[in-house]
Structure 1
Amino acid sequence: MAGASRRMSADERRESVIRAAMVEFAERGYNGTSTQAIAVRVGVSQPYLFRLFPSKRALFEATVRRSTQDIKAAFLKAAEGLDDPQDRAAAMGAAYVDLMADRSLLLLQMQMYVSVAAAEAQGDAEVGEAARALWLDLWDSVRVAAGMSTEEVTEFFAHGMLINTLLAMGFPPRHRIWEGLGAGACGDA
């Protein structure tokens, strides 16, 4: 049938919900995002959304997991086939800058940190435990893939956090504040 569209599988629908939720949570944070807004963005009913994810928290955790996995995959791919640890670290740094061109991914990371802190301030440690486990896996994966020492991986992630902050604040490419991070750090090599 020409022009007929095929139905999405449950896995494809789940993936589309995660991607839509990433944008919504990035723009509005955990507390400011409604599951209705996510359902509307992806084009499903709210009851269907809850068949895929039992709670808003489960959906938020899935988005955090996906964004962290995407970053990890980009880092590992960038380091592939490079023998020199400095080359691997530089390639991973460049891959990170490319990823952060997606403002939703950048803002979702920032929202993750804020949401974990807010949840824990309210006595809810589960979200933080899940996010920390994902972050620790990312940290360890980068350290191993790049062959970095603890100090080197700390510096690598510290630069990444500074890049996050500067991008989130809207510092334009070529602004003097980027100079200490090296060529290409602002995404405008």
Structure 2
Amino acid sequence: MSAEERRESVVRAAIVEFARSGYAGTSTAAIARRVGVSQPYLFRLFPDKRAIFLAAARRCTDEIRARFAEVSEGMTPDEAADAMGEVYPELLADRDRLLFQMQMYVAAAVADASGDPGFAAELREVWAELWDLVHFRLGAEDARTDDFMAMGMLINVRLALGFPPDHRVWAGCLERNPDFLRAGGKGGCGG
């Protein structure tokens, strides 16, 4: 395996490990074990745990941003909102990626609180790039972007908490799109 292929394996493994144990609770030894490499080799690929986490954060966020860009290319803001809302649930189908997203937000807050504002700023920048794409595709309307992103975060929270499809917390979403959960999230909750 090339070094680039190993780096890719480390990022995939890191997403799983960080999703399950958070930034502070994940050891580089656990990531190395999941990849099947030694810790010294891991540190030849990435300088430290922080760099691994940032690579995983960028990967997860870039995948969402790329998919949103792909499905909304050349559309009106209304069409783009619908298209991005329709594909978002498929991007959350991998529970580890969903939970990693949530861990990313926690890691930024903890970094700020513990005196590492640079790490928090890097994580915020990764997320801000996603926000920028959505903002542009929705016609650069602040309120519309906030509403779209807020709905996505609400979906994240419901899914991360494991609410079953028939729970009352999904009622508003299902009023807007009765097939949302039955269709595996297709069509989004839209607002």
Using structure 1 for the length normalisation, give the TM-score: 0.90
Q: 1:115 to 1:185 in 2, by over 3 A?
A: farther
Taking the aligned partners of 2:44 and 2:94, their CA distance within structure 1 comes to: 29
Q: What are the within-5 Å matches in structure 2 for residues 131-150 of structure 1?
A: 131-150=123-142
Give the AA of the match of 2:133.
Answer: S
Whether contact under 8 Å (2:135, 2:141) holds in the other structure is yes
Question: Alpha-carbon deviations, 1:34-86, whole Å to 9, x = none?
Answer: 101100101111100000010011111111111110110111112135x3322
Residue 7 (structure 2) pairs with residue 14 (structure 1): yes
Q: Hey, what's the Cα distance between the residues in 1 that align with 2:180 and 2:45?
A: 38
**Which secondary structure does the structure 1 equivalent of 2:66 belong to?**
helix
Partner of 2:156: 164
Paired AA for residue 116 in structure 2: D
Q: Distance in 1 between matches of 2:118 and 2:110?
A: 12
Q: 1:64-75 alignment to 2 at 5 Å?
A: 64-75=57-68
* Alpha-carbon distance, 1:185 to partner: 4.6
- Structure 1 residues 161, 188: closer, same or farther in 2, change over 3 A? closer
* Aligned counterpart for 1:48 among listed residues 37, 41, 55: 41
Report the AA paired with residue 123 of structure 1. G
Q: Which SS does the other structure have where 2:115 is aligned?
A: coil
Matches within 5 A, 1:45-124: 45-81=38-74, 83-124=75-116
In the alignment, is the contact (CA less than 8 A) between 1:20 and 1:38 conserved in 2? Answer: yes
What is the rounded CA distance, in whole Å, between the counterparts of 1:153 and 1:57 in structure 2? Answer: 30
Length, aligned pairs only: 181
RMSD, matched Cα: 1.5
Please give the secondary structure, in 2, of the residue aligned with 1:16.
Answer: helix
AA paired with 1:22?
I
8 Å contact 1:17–1:39 — kept in the other structure?
Answer: yes
Alpha-carbon distance in structure 2 between the residues aligned to 1:79 and 1:178: 26
Q: Which amino acid aligns with 1:100?
A: L
Identity score, percent:
55
* Matching of residue 176 in structure 1 with residue 150 in structure 2: no
Structure 1: 5+ residue stretches without partners: 1-7
Which moved further from structure 2: 84-93 or 105-114?
84-93
Consecutive unaligned residues of structure 2, counting only runs of 5 or more, are 187-191
Give the structure 1 partner of residue 189 of structure 2: none
| Alpha-carbon separation, structure 2, partners of 1:127 and 1:112 | 11
Aligned-residue offset at 1:153: 0.5
2:21 to 6, 10, 28: 28
Query: Aligned with 1:173: secondary structure?
Result: coil
The 2-side partners of 1:78 and 1:116 are apart by 29
Contact 1:78 1:88 survives alignment (8 Å) = yes
Letter in 2 for 1:13: R
Q: Distance in 1 between matches of 2:148 and 2:59?
A: 21
Give runs of ≥4 in structure 1 deviating > 6 Å. Answer: none
Q: Following TM superposition, by how much is the alpha carbon of 1:188 offset from its aligned partner in structure 2, in angstroms?
A: 4.2
Contact 1:79 1:146 in 2 (8 A): no
